[in-house]
Structure 1
């Protein structure tokens, strides 16, 4: 897929490297390996713009994020944090927050419309862990590790992961992560219900697309984009509504009121039923939701 095929060109990126490894799928590689893919403020706003574009580009239906080198993401670049604090102390402040409204990396508090899969190739610490806590699916290499070490630095994980982890893995385990700062392995993360699958590690010279963790994420993505894009968007919205609202009945009511008419009026529902009756593969069209 060529960026010229899109209705709008993607926003320029200096931190995230984009490619399109399968139809309707975008892969974003966090690309600052010399700093374990830690993020600057500018990188976070770039990514927020990128995933806003992803949601608006009808031909794209699923995204994958992974990291260059040996890390997924080590969190915030603390050197820039020190510089920002010093400037603020001197009254020099440009009015822009350290992270966008959609959270760390534009992802940790993102609601969005379409699914994003994390292919965790190495350590996911701090902000990297906060991103993982808000992913739709997570695949991790066997050597990957997950941690919220903020308390060891005198700061707090305030990009959305704490309440999300309390719901996903339960209060005792979320407390263990946040209050001790200790890391857990990919196997432990899967046992806790934080991630979907664990893969073998890649060799040090392995290309990103050849990594087992990225291949597994692409397997999930390919299955997702093979389904009705309308059904994927609405099903995801229903899951998020139940996760965030707390009341399953209220979430069910809101899902029906918000989306049922749009689903029934769309062409993909009719195409799915017709394809079933005719015993053929459905020919989905890009979602207009």
Structure 2
């Protein structure tokens, strides 16, 4: 594990997730409420928002991975808490805090952010867990993983950002099938539909997190990302997100060039990449200042 002493600031404390730094430049976040299938509480979502905001601001970190403890990735919102919130609302009580932050469920389902996050789906990803998966940059899943939006079966709606995003990723008919029937799909189906990048063998629920094949695969993807210029990774990701979110490819291209090209050209990493190529050596990247 990498020491946190080199960080500009320590990571914010978490009530729900376990945070570690298994290799240089990579943050591993484990949803750690296994007895409840990692169901999310309102407080947990705000804790995670502070964590991912910190991640984007910590120069030495270049990629993050999220996974779940036990046999689930995330079963969605804690329905018992949700029921209690509805009871309080029915009584006319008001809370000062919304059930979830602006960045969405788990601070991820509507996150734009600056740096990439990979999901290592170790089990069921239902409801909010599926909403998280729908908005992450890359997804690896064990072959026994199941994905579903069962909200309609509970009289609620997946309103944390997944519905329009899934329509763009897997198409309207498949997104409709998931949302209106509440059916679950396997990892193999999710890969066929273009929702996930890769499928791995299963691991035992009590395996050490780093020994799980799905986490190892996610770490391999993270290592490939971290080998590249952190400036290029940030800007390339911004271009993909802009094209996915904004609709117009040409408008996204124009905004990417206007907003990011000057910073890229002025950065040391672009100069280092060109020097390294000319000198026939591996580049020595510095932490991004973007």
Q: Tell me if both proteins adopt one fold, taking TM over 0.5 as the criterion.
A: yes
Q: 8 Å contact 2:70–2:206 — kept in the other structure?
A: no
Structure 1: where are the runs of 5+ without partners? none
Provide the residue aligned with 1:86 in structure 2.
Answer: 87
CA distance in 2, matches of 1:213, 1:181: 25
CA distance in 1, matches of 2:254, 2:204: 48
Q: Shift of the alpha carbon at 1:9?
A: 1.2
CA distance in 2, matches of 1:55, 1:258: 18
CA distance in 2, matches of 1:98, 1:204: 29
Q: Shift of the alpha carbon at 1:85?
A: 1.0
Provide the residue aligned with 1:175 in structure 2.
Answer: 176
Q: Shift of the alpha carbon at 1:150?
A: 0.2
- Hey, which bits of structure 1, 4+ residues long, moved more than 4 A? none
Superposed CA offset, 1:27-67 (max 9, x none) = 00000000000000000000011000000001000000000
CA distance in 2, matches of 1:88, 1:4: 44
Provide the residue aligned with 1:252 in structure 2.
Answer: 253
Provide the residue aligned with 1:130 in structure 2.
Answer: 131
Provide the residue aligned with 1:232 in structure 2.
Answer: 233
Q: Shift of the alpha carbon at 1:245?
A: 1.0
Instruction: Provide the aligned length of Structure 1 versus Structure 2.
Output: 289
Provide the residue aligned with 1:205 in structure 2.
Answer: 206
Superposed CA offset, 1:95-115 (max 9, x none) = 211100000000000000000
Provide the residue aligned with 1:2 in structure 2.
Answer: 3
What secondary structure does 1:27 align onto?
strand
Q: Shift of the alpha carbon at 1:162?
A: 0.1
Task: Give the superposed CA RMSD.
Answer: 0.7
Q: Shift of the alpha carbon at 1:87?
A: 1.3
Question: Following superposition of structure 1 onto structure 2, how do residues 141-220 of structure 1 map, counting pairs within 5 Å?
Answer: 141-220=142-221
CA distance in 2, matches of 1:155, 1:168: 23
Provide the residue aligned with 1:222 in structure 2.
Answer: 223
CA distance in 2, matches of 1:106, 1:3: 22
Q: Shift of the alpha carbon at 1:21?
A: 1.1
What secondary structure does 1:108 align onto?
coil
Provide the residue aligned with 1:56 in structure 2.
Answer: 57
What secondary structure does 1:21 align onto?
coil
CA distance in 2, matches of 1:268, 1:50: 26
TM-score (normalised: structure 1)? 0.99
Q: Shift of the alpha carbon at 1:3?
A: 2.0
Superposed CA offset, 1:149-207 (max 9, x none) = 00000000000000000000000000000000000000000000000000000024311
Provide the residue aligned with 2:33 in structure 1.
Answer: 32
What secondary structure does 1:79 align onto?
helix
Provide the residue aligned with 1:65 in structure 2.
Answer: 66
What secondary structure does 1:230 align onto?
helix
Provide the residue aligned with 1:41 in structure 2.
Answer: 42
Superposed CA offset, 1:255-284 (max 9, x none) = 000000000000000000000111111000
What secondary structure does 2:239 align onto?
helix
What secondary structure does 2:22 align onto?
strand
Structure 2: where are the runs of 5+ without partners? none
Matched, 1:117 2:121: no
Q: Shift of the alpha carbon at 1:232?
A: 0.2
What secondary structure does 2:20 align onto?
strand
Question: Following superposition of structure 1 onto structure 2, how do residues 270-281 of structure 1 map, counting pairs within 5 Å?
Answer: 270-281=271-282
CA distance in 2, matches of 1:93, 1:269: 52
